[in-house]
Chains A and B, each alone.
Chain A
Amino acid sequence: MRIDFDKSVDSKMEKGKNAVIRNGKRSWDAEFVTSPNGHSQYSSDDISTPTSSQNWHSYDDIPSVSTPIIDESRQSDFMIENYRRLLESSTRYPPLTIQQQIQIAKYLDSRGEYAPSYMIIEKFNLQISAAHLRTLTNGCWLNDEVINFYSNLIIERAQNNPDIYPPVHIVNTFFYTKLMQSGFGHKVVAGAHWTLAVANFKLCRFEYYDSLGGEFNPVFLNELRAFFNYLAKQTNNHHFDFDSWNTYEPKTKTPQQKNSYDCGVFTMMTVEHMSRNAPLSFTQSKMGYFRAKMIYEISTGNIMNEIDDEDSFEEDEDESVNDDEILQSSAEHSPGAEAMQIDIVKSSTTTHQGPSVTIEII
């Protein structure tokens, strides 16, 4: 686990700013994600703020675009839907050309020219086969290879364009397992859900994004604090005190999945948006496109650029995340996971091994 502490982090840890956030007077969420007119990306004329039947009294009460809103009034539902669409459309995602779409379809066609073991791309010490890429088929669960590869693409993009994208480090998906195993010796149950934890060095807080609205696992959070404290000590960054870091869990304000299979895409898109300081304004309806986009980007080994226009995100960057440590984790304790765990136990009892066995390979 190599994590470099950016030297510039020191200058970013302004105590005043930190205090403001602790007092809860201003949260990144309110400022960055949910505010329709607090961001340069949206001109205030574009947004028709729903009024009458809505109880959006104060700035902070404005629900996130992705918050499931239940309202008796159909009319307000309609207005909210319009509002959502408006927000979504103002995020300029690159379109996929016909040729690109055809290529994507070919990759996904299991009876086509690409056998499951066909190596689509080899990069970052990872090999993505057609079978791995096909976990991005609509309705499928994403696997670790795809998640880790895409994480590397995001890191690479930030490294290659330091003037555009804030520095970001993303640990691989095994970090969580390893951390939970080695810490207090907790038993890690193989997970069935992708979620995202972020160490935000700019705002000095740990953040947790779950497309099913879950909460930070307190054990995991403690392990994270311990891990970073250890790391700070090892690297002589004694001024860091991760025990004092706040937590930030937007829960249902995080874009939410409406099915049982899209959490991997939600997680990676949350990372992708955060890595360029874009608001998390996407919803379930974009997932088909995101999957296709990810397939194309992974197969080419490059992330497609978002479309530049005069309303780019860059102007407001000072207010947002600048130095993230993004961690992925698969959540533990789930019915599906129990089944998986049982499977593991079963297969290991049938084999003969133990601490005393050494195998010689000559």
Chain B
Amino acid sequence: MSSTPTSVQPTGQSGESKKEGTSTEHINLKVVGSDHNEMFFKIKRTTQLKKLMDAFCERQGKAFNSLRFLYDGERVQPHNTPLELEMEDGDAIDVMVEQTGGCIQCC
């Protein structure tokens, strides 16, 4: 965890008290993984979501190009910001795993 690039830290201990102080500049986002696991992120509205995606991938031990981030069913691009996508506090980003298919019985 210490290797995460930005100051990424769980709010479980220290973050909780700060919650009220970070009113409009920051936003809390829920990232819902394909296995129903939820991870919460606090991010600046103007920060590119790439940081969130990278942090999520790192935590999950997944390659970035194997995951698809969706907000309201639409793909989220790494360069998008919460402001751009008009995200609101508490909104969820869905994470889907790359899908591939050929047949049922085989392979």
Contact = CB atoms under 8 A, between A and B. Distances in A.
Contact of B102 (A193, A355, A358, A362): A193
B39 A359 contact: yes
A352 B83 CA distance: 29
A268 to B, nearest CB: 11
Given A344-B34, A348-B33, A357 B39 contact: yes
Interface in A301-338: 330-331, 334-336
B100 A358 contact: no
A351 B59 CA distance: 6
B59 A141 contact: no
Interface in A176-203: 177-178, 181, 190-194
Contacts of A348: 33, 35, 37, 60
Contacts of B47: 361-362
Nearest to B11: A358
Range class of the B interface residue count:
35 or more
Contacts of B101: 141-142, 191-194, 263-264, 330-331
A356 interface: yes
Contacts of A175: 73
Contact of B99 (A143, A181, A353): A143
Given A190-B97, A192-B103, A336-B107, A362 B35 contact: no
B12 interface: yes
Nearest to A117: B65
Contacts of A99: none
B10 A358 contact: yes
Nearest to A181: B36
Nearest to B51: A361
B35 A191 contact: no
Nearest to A333: B104
Interface residues of A, number: 56
A9 interface: no
A330 B34 CA distance: 14
Contacts of B77: 125
Contacts of A142: 100-102
Interface of B: 1, 6-12, 15, 26, 28, 33-44, 47, 51-52, 55, 59-62, 68, 70, 72-75, 77, 94, 96-107
Interface of A: 1-2, 125-126, 135, 140-145, 147, 171-175, 177-178, 181, 190-194, 212, 214, 257, 259-264, 330-331, 334-336, 344-345, 347-348, 350-362
24 contacts: A141-B102, A144-B96, A144-B100, A177-B96, A190-B34, A193-B101, A194-B101, A212-B103, A260-B105, A330-B99, A330-B101, A334-B105, A348-B33, A348-B37, A350-B61, A354-B37, A357-B12, A359-B40, A359-B41, A359-B42, A360-B7, A361-B8, A361-B43, A362-B6
